[in-house]
Amino acid sequence: MGNFIGDFFVMTKPRVWVFLLITGIAGEVFALSTMRSLDVGGFLYVVLYIALGLMGAESVSNYFDISIDRMMNRTKERALPSGRMKPSVALYGGLVLIAATLILSFFRSFLSFAFMATGIFDYTIIYSYLTKKRTAWNIILGAYSGGAPLLAGFYAFTSSYNPVAILMFLTIFIWTPLHIWSLSIRYRDDYAAASVPMLPVGRTTRQSMNVLFPIAILAVAVTVLTGYEFRLYFPFFIGIALFVVYVALGVYLLASYLLALAQPDKRIMKLFVSTNIFIGMFFVFIAIFSLLIPFVGVLR
C-alpha cells in the first residue's frame, strides 16, 4: 500500500505542481495583503483545492502521455510507462481529485472556480490530449494553465481587477515557453524518438535559440512592468527598492539567455536552471513584499 501511495504521489510530478502551488499561494498572499485581511482558514482552504487540482491534472496528463513516456529515456521508468501502476488508476484517481477541486472552489468563489476549471481543461485536454503530439506550438497553447493557479488563488478573495495580478499571470504565461523549450533543446532526441513535435525538434539549436529571443525580451519587459506597478503599494523609497529588485531579476534572466545564446551546447541546461531560479525568486519576492503591505503599504 505504501509503495502504491508513493508511486501515485510521484506520478503527479510534485516538483511541477508544488511550484505552481507556490504561485497560487503568492496570489493569495497578495490578495489578502491588499485587503488587510488575515483569513487563515480561507487561505488553507484555497491551498488545499489548488493542490488537489494540480495533482489531479498532472495525473490525467500522465495518463494521456503513457505512449510518449514509454519511448523517452528520461521518462520510461516512471510508474505508468514502466507498468508499476495501472493507467486506469491515474485516470480515475486524477478525475476524483479534479472533481474535489471543482466542488471546493465553486463553494469558495466563482472566479476561482472558473480559473481552476479552465486551467485544468487547458492542461489536460488542450495541451496534453489535443496538441502535445500535433504541433510545435503546443506549449504556447498550454501556457495559460501555468498561470491559472495564481489567478485562482488571487480571485478566491476578491473580484476586483488588479494590474499586478494580471502581470504576474502574464509573466508565467511568457516564461513557460522559455522554460520548456530550453529543456526541449537539451532533450531534442528524446522528443523526436517519441514523435513529439516540440519546437526544437524540427529546428537547429541556433534557430530555436533565435525563437527564444523575443520571448526572453517579453519576459523581461513584463517582469519590469510588474515591479513598476507593484511599487505603487508602498511609500516612495520602499517602492523604488522593490522596482530595483524586479529590474535585477529581468537583467538576470536576459543575461542567462544571452550567455546560452553564445554557447548553447554548453549552457542550455544552465539557462533552464536559471529560468527556475528566476520564476522562484519572482514569486518569493511577491510574497515577501505583499506581507509588508499591511504594515508599511499605502492605500490604493
249: closest CA among 201, 290, 286?
286
Q: Is the dihedral of CA 129, 132, 134, 137 positive or negative?
A: positive
17: closest CA among 64, 69, 65, 52?
52
Specify the pLDDT at position 84: 82
**Run of H or E including 245:** helix 236-262
Region of poorest pLDDT, from 67-71, 211-215, 234-238: 67-71
Specify the pLDDT at position 220: 97
Specify the pLDDT at position 179: 93
User: Strand, helix or coil at 65?
Assistant: coil
7: closest CA among 74, 81, 71, 64?
81
- Give first-to-last CA distance, the chain, whole Å: 53
Specify the pLDDT at position 202: 83
Q: What percent of the chain has pLDDT over 70?
A: 99
- What is the pLDDT confidence band of residue 28, given thresholds at 50, 70 and 90? very high
Specify the pLDDT at position 69: 84
Mean pLDDT, the chain, integer = 93
Region of poorest pLDDT, from 118-132, 167-181, 197-211, 240-254: 197-211
**Run of H or E including 19:** helix 14-34
Angle, alpha carbons 109-122-103 (nearest 5°): 30
Specify the pLDDT at position 2: 53
- What is the pLDDT confidence band of residue 7, given thresholds at 50, 70 and 90? confident
Report how far residue 171's alpha carbon sits from residue 177's, in angstroms, rounded to the nearest whole number: 11
Question: In the chain, what's the furthest Cα-to-Cα distance?
Answer: 59
Specify the pLDDT at position 161: 93
Instruction: Give me the amino acid identity at 271.
Output: L
Q: Which residues of 106-130 are buried (b: 16+ CB within 10 A; e: fewer)?
A: eebbebbbbbbbbbbbbbbebbbbe
Specify the pLDDT at position 54: 97
Instruction: Give me the amino acid identity at 177.
Output: P
